[in-house]
Structure 1
Amino acid sequence: MLAVVRACVFDLDGVLVDSEPVWEEVRRAFVAEHGGTWQPDTQSRLMGMSTAEWSAYLHELGVRMPPAEIARAVVEQMAARYRDGVPLMPGAVQAVRRLAERNTLGLASSSPRTLIDVVLDAADLKQCFAATVSTEEVARGKPAPDGYLEAARRLDLDPRGCVAVEDSSNGLRSAHAAGMHVIAVPHPRYPPAPDALALAWRVLPNLDALTPELLS
């Protein structure tokens, strides 16, 4: 049982931004265009990986470019798509602002820093977060706990007093491994694996159900 919630740490992709379909479309086309082969489990494996990890993985799929060039090209395409409009999840802005009125908020994302900043600026949410972390800034991406541990460190809090909001299998595993209580808000198109969902403290149908009262 969680006695006192010191902070709520959000994931970005799939929780606040409906970006996984965009990531899949961009990376799938990039792999095909550059000689690679997309595998049936590729999308699920990519979710939660850091930039260095997923660019190396696309190279392993047969993309005939160094991982650093793969990362740069794909992130540029993602930024271009976001400039046309950030696909926010239903209720995302309202949920963040609702919780920010009573809770300290953090963010731990697998997206590169440039895309995190684009999203938070576009949604006018940057001021709601006391700390944000990209897995580019830690040693390992999700499902390793590094990003969530770093978010707690920047908030100067024990991770065991924090709640994380996640959607993906790797994200749920990451936050749980960090010692946080995890609220799962599963993405309808990319539901987490049953074993990962079993790690959740609470499972919510959508962000409208995420309220300060739930954390009190």
Structure 2
Amino acid sequence: MTIRAVVFDLDGVIIDSEEVWEEVRRGYVAEFGRSFRPDTQDRMMGMSTGEWSTHLAEEVGVPRTPAQVADDVLGRMASRYRDDLPLIPGSVDAVRRIGARFPIALASSSARILIDQVLATAGLTDAFPVTLSTEEVPRGKPFPDVYLAAAEKLGLDPAVCAAVEDSSNGLRSAGAAGLAVIAVPHGVYPPAADALAMASLVVPSLGELSVEAIDRLR
């Protein structure tokens, strides 16, 4: 059995967005006189739009509906991405290089509006034949739904696909779906030890992920 496709996460793998997300969401809740709970940032990494907006509305206490919270925050994030996209150095070249060897897909917890904006700004709209947001599956990460859906759209068994992830919930999602897991740990928001243990390969950056290393995963 060999790897026949690679599925990428977006945030923390292609773009260094976690600090942007934290800055935007912290600033947003502060406008309503609220602040993050001790575990808010860790919990929201990998959550779908509906999940994190519900958390901010119902647990953090922002006096808006989850749908309103989502619209407010996503609008601010899309504006940031248009003006100053936080691409990780070497990530675009790595996507192109890996995509020349394998069919590739994108499985992100970001909303569709942000996925499309990132790919347009980065010049990667044509790179991925399959893109999925966790908005488009029943459950977000750490559940396996988005990776199972990505493999299905690629027409492949999850066992012959590899996933490139950085966060605890993303690693757990890919592992639960049965993909070979490649971890690219984020320096500021490192994954939990149990999640990192699910990885068959750990690399310091996407730019250092070789097609030869992917070939050897299975």
Which AA in structure 1 matches 2:11? D
> Tell me, which stretches of 5 or more residues in structure 2 are unaligned?
none
- Structure 1 stretches (4+) deviating beyond 4 angstroms? none
Q: TM-score, normalised by structure 2?
A: 0.96
| Percent identity (aligned) | 61
Partner of 1:75: 74
Partner of 2:29: 31
Residue 31 (structure 1) shift: 1.1
Rounded to whole Å, the distance in 1 between the matches of 2:66 and 2:100 is: 41
**Does residue 172 of the first structure (1) align with residue 171 of the second (2)?**
yes
Decide whether the 8 Å contact of 1:36 with 1:64 is kept in 2. no
Q: Deviations over 1:44-64 (max 9, x none)?
A: 100000000000000121100
Rounded to whole Å, the distance in 2 between the matches of 1:32 and 1:138 is: 31
Residue 40 (structure 1) shift: 2.1
Residue 208 (structure 1) shift: 2.1
Partner of 1:140: 139
Rounded to whole Å, the distance in 1 between the matches of 2:102 and 2:125 is: 15
Residue 75 of structure 2 aligns to a residue in which SS?
A: helix
Partner of 2:149: 150
Residue 129 (structure 1) shift: 1.0
Q: Deviations over 1:52-81 (max 9, x none)?
A: 000000012110000000000000000111
Q: TM-score, normalised by structure 1?
A: 0.97
Decide whether the 8 Å contact of 1:36 with 1:58 is kept in 2. no
Rounded to whole Å, the distance in 2 between the matches of 1:122 and 1:71 is: 22
> Tell me, which stretches of 5 or more residues in structure 1 are unaligned?
none
The count of aligned residue pairs is 214
Q: Deviations over 1:19-64 (max 9, x none)?
A: 1000000001111112333122211100000000000000121100
Q: Deviations over 1:116-137 (max 9, x none)?
A: 0111111111211120000110
Which AA in structure 1 matches 2:18? E
Residue 141 of structure 1 aligns to a residue in which SS?
A: coil
Partner of 2:44: 46
Which AA in structure 1 matches 2:206? L
Rounded to whole Å, the distance in 1 between the matches of 2:137 and 2:70 is: 17
Rounded to whole Å, the distance in 2 between the matches of 1:148 and 1:86 is: 25
Partner of 1:58: 56
Q: What pairs up with 1:1-216 in 2 under 5 angstroms?
A: 3-59=1-57, 60-216=59-215
Decide whether the 8 Å contact of 2:143 with 2:173 is kept in 1. yes
Rounded to whole Å, the distance in 2 between the matches of 1:207 and 1:51 is: 25
Q: Deviations over 1:126-159 (max 9, x none)?
A: 2111200001101111000111111111111111
Rounded to whole Å, the distance in 1 between the matches of 2:81 and 2:13 is: 16
